[in-house]
Structure 1
Amino acid sequence: MKIGFVGGTGHIGKGLALRWGKGSNHEIFIGSRNESRGREAAEEYSRLLDEAGYEHEISGGDNRFAVENSDVVLVCIPYKSVFETMESLSSVFDDQVLISPVVPMFKSEGQFGCDDCCAALDIDNATPEGVRVVSAFHTVPAKPLYEFDNPLECDVIVCGENDAKMVVFDLIDDIDGMRGLDGGDLSVSRLTEAVTPLLLNVSINNDISHPMIKFISP
C-alpha cells in the first residue's frame, strides 16, 4: 500500500513510517511543509532501516507530494495547523483514506488538557467529500514506535465509517503486538482524543514512561 505522511518529520510520523516501512509491503512518502526537510527525513528513516537490514521504499518531499502519491494519508501535525494545511492540500486530495492521530491538546499549569472540540471532525469538514477520515493512534507513544523490532503490546481505538476502518485495521495488524479496536463512528473521536492528555498526566504524576492502553476481558 502507498502511505503518505503529512507532517511526516515529527515524532508519530517517524515511528509509524519506520514500522510500516520495514519490508516490502508498503511504499512510504514522507511530507513536510519544507520539501528539503521531507527528503532529509526520508533519507534518515531509510538509513535506520538499512542498518537493520530491511528492504524499504521510502521517499520524501513536500506535503503535496505525500498526498498525491498515496492511497492512505496520515495527518501528523499540531491541531493549530489543521485548517491551514487541509486548505492548502484540498486540490490534491482524491478519495484517500485519511488517518488522524491529531489531538486538540494544551498544557496549563503543568497539566495537559483537551480543547472542547474534535480534531477528526474538523479535519473531515476541511477535506473534500471523497476523502474518508478515520481517527486512530492517539494513545501510542512515539518512542516505543521507534524501536521498530520490538512488539508493541497495546490497543488502538479506531473511529470512522466501516469500509475505511477496515483499511486502518489491516495497517494496525502489520505492527507486531498492536491490536485495533472499533470505537464507533467518527464522532466518538472526541473521546479517544481526550485520552492522550490523560495518559500524559498519568505519566508525569506517577513516573510511568510511555504509558499505552490495553483492554483486558476477564
Structure 2
Amino acid sequence: MNSEKLKIAVLGGTGNIGEGLVLRLALQNLMDEGVKNEIIIGSRSSEAAEEAAKEALGELENCGFDTTEIRITGNSNLEAAKAADLIVLTIRFDNVPSLLEEIRKAIEGKILISPVVPMAKAGPIFEYRPPAEGSAAQAIKEMTPESTKVVAAFHNIAARKLKDIVKCKAVNDSVICSDDEEAKKLVIELTRHMGCLKPLDGGPLKNANTIESLTPLLINLAKLNGMKDLGVNFS
C-alpha cells in the first residue's frame, strides 16, 4: 500500500471534522499529480452519506476546483470500511465501541486513524476524560483486531480551518502516534499532502493521551479569551 493511490473511508464524514477531512483529502488529487485518492464518506445512513458526497463535490466546484479527477462517494459505515484501504474515525468517543463492533471484520489488516478525543463539558469549559486504557487511541487499539494498525492523528485542528479550502493556507502541526512504524510513515506522508497541516512524528501510541488532551485545552482557551480556531505549532 502506498499513499499515492488509496481508498480512504471517513466514517462519520457528515460531521464538521469529517467534512473538512473529506475536502482536504480529495484536494490532494489536484495538488499532487501522483496522488489519486478515492474518498468514501461513511454514515449510519447510506442516503445521508451519498448526499454528503454530492455536497462535497459541489463545494469544491463552487470554490473553482475542477472535480473531474476527484472521486467522492457515500455509503454506510460498514460498506465504506469494507471498500477502504484506510479508515478515519470522525465520531464521538461514546459511539466508538458500537461502530468498531459493527465494522470489526472489515478493518482487519487495515490502517485505522483516530482523531477521537474523549471529553465532556464541565460547566463552562471542557474536560479531557480518558478511558482506563489511557487514551481514545489506546482504547480503540484494544477494541480492534490485532492486525489493525491504529494511528492517532488529526487532533487539535479547527474544523472551520479544515473546511475553508480557499482562504485557509496556514499550516498547523499535527502530531502522529502509532506503534506501527510503517503505518505511521504512510499517515505522515498523507498528512503532508493535505496542504494545511505539518506532520510530526509523536512516537508510540501511548503518547496519544498528551495530544488528545490538547483539544479541550484549545477549545477552552478560545472560549475564555475570545479567540477562534486555535491550532498547535511547535517551534
How would you bin the TM-score normalised by the shorter chain? Answer: over 0.9
Deviation at 1:177, TM superposition (A): 4.0
Question: Is structure 2 residue 64 aligned with structure 1 residue 45?
Answer: no
Q: Which residue of 2 aligns with 1:203?
A: 222
Q: 1:122 aligns with which of 123, 126, 139?
A: 139
AA partner of residue 59 (structure 1):
T
AA partner of residue 69 (structure 1):
A
Q: Which residue of 2 aligns with 1:3?
A: 8
Superposed CA offset, 1:163-202 (max 9, x none): 1111111111112242111111011111111000000000
Q: Which residue of 1 aligns with 2:159?
A: 142
SS at match of 1:21: helix
CA contact (8 A) 2:119 2:130 kept: no
TM-score under structure 2 length normalisation: 0.89
CA contact (8 A) 2:109 2:148 kept: yes
CA contact (8 A) 2:10 2:90 kept: yes
Question: Is structure 2 residue 163 aligned with structure 1 residue 158?
Answer: no
Q: Which residue of 1 aligns with 2:37?
A: 26
Moved over 3 A (4+): none
Superposed CA offset, 1:146-165 (max 9, x none): 11133132100000021111
Q: Which residue of 2 aligns with 1:183?
A: 202
Provide the C-alpha distance between the structure 2 equivalents of 1:183 and 1:173, rounded to a whole number of angstroms.
15
Provide the C-alpha distance between the structure 2 equivalents of 1:54 and 1:139, rounded to a whole number of angstroms.
30
Q: Which residue of 2 aligns with 1:54?
A: 66
Superposed CA offset, 1:128-154 (max 9, x none): 111100001111110011111331321
Name the % identity: 34
* Structure 2 unmatched ranges of 5 or more: 1-5, 30-35
Deviation at 1:9, TM superposition (A): 0.7
Deviation at 1:46, TM superposition (A): 1.1
After the TM superposition, which of the residue ranges 46-55 and 142-151 deviates more from structure 2? 46-55
Q: What RMSD over aligned residues (CA atoms) do the two structures have, in Å?
A: 1.1
Provide the C-alpha distance between the structure 2 equivalents of 1:116 and 1:53, rounded to a whole number of angstroms.
40
AA partner of residue 93 (structure 1):
I
Deviation at 1:23, TM superposition (A): 5.3
Provide the C-alpha distance between the structure 1 equivalents of 2:139 and 2:106, rounded to a whole number of angstroms.
18
SS at match of 1:193: helix
Provide the C-alpha distance between the structure 1 equivalents of 2:197 and 2:13, rounded to a whole number of angstroms.
21
Deviation at 1:208, TM superposition (A): 1.0
Provide the C-alpha distance between the structure 2 equivalents of 1:95 and 1:185, rounded to a whole number of angstroms.
19
Provide the C-alpha distance between the structure 2 equivalents of 1:116 and 1:62, rounded to a whole number of angstroms.
28
SS at match of 2:105: coil
Provide the C-alpha distance between the structure 2 equivalents of 1:94 and 1:162, rounded to a whole number of angstroms.
17
Q: 2:21 aligns with which of 2, 7, 16?
A: 16
Provide the C-alpha distance between the structure 2 equivalents of 1:104 and 1:48, rounded to a whole number of angstroms.
30
Superposed CA offset, 1:30-79 (max 9, x none): 00011111111111101111222232100001101211111111000000
